[in-house]
């Protein structure tokens, strides 16, 4: 049985979009941490809850929080410079949402403004040979 079957599809899709978004990657570990803190504060009142806390889950939470921070730190510069490109395109009249992610809208606006067929250049690029 799928865990999300009881949630209506539009809400389920929004939850999934959040979980895979940049904000979701940053917030989910903190939400899990808040839940863990809440559980730890309740344990004096419910001693039976202590036996249900799994140490490997705590380690996993810490690992995920660190990975989310590393992901944000390594990808932040990508979105920063993407926003610069998008802002420049908007200032030249492009109808574009400045979100920091290069997608179809950004490529369409760039191609329309510069006349450079970026998609074709990407498609024709030779495959990366990896590190040398």
H or E element: which one contains 42? helix 22-42
Two structure tokens written together for 73: 């730190």
In angstroms, the CA 28 to CA 30 distance is: 5
pLDDT at 90: 93
The dihedral through the CA atoms of 71, 26, 16, 13 has a sign that is negative
* pTM of the shown model: 0.43
> Could you tell me which residues come within 8 angstroms of residue 18 by beta carbon, excluding any fewer than 6 positions away?
24
Enumerate residue ranges in the chain where pLDDT < 50.
1, 131-132
**What CA–CA distance (Å, rounded) separates 105 from 103?**
6
């Amino acid at each position: 049985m799928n865990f999300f079957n009881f949630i209506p599809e539009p809400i389920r899709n929004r939850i999934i979009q959040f979980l895979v978004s940049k904000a979701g990657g940053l917030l989910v570990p903190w939400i899990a941490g808040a839940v863990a803190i809440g559980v730890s504060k309740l344990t004096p009142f419910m001693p039976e809850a202590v036996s249900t806390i799994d140490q490997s889950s705590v380690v996993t939470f810490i690992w995920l929080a660190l990975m989310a921070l590393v992901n944000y730190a390594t990808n932040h510069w990508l979105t920063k410079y993407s926003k610069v490109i998008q802002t420049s395109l908007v200032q030249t009249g492009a109808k574009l949402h400045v979100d920091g992610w290069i997608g179809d809208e950004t490529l369409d606006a760039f191609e329309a403004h510069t006349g450079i067929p970026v998609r074709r250049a990407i498609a024709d690029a030779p495959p990366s040979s990896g590190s040398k």
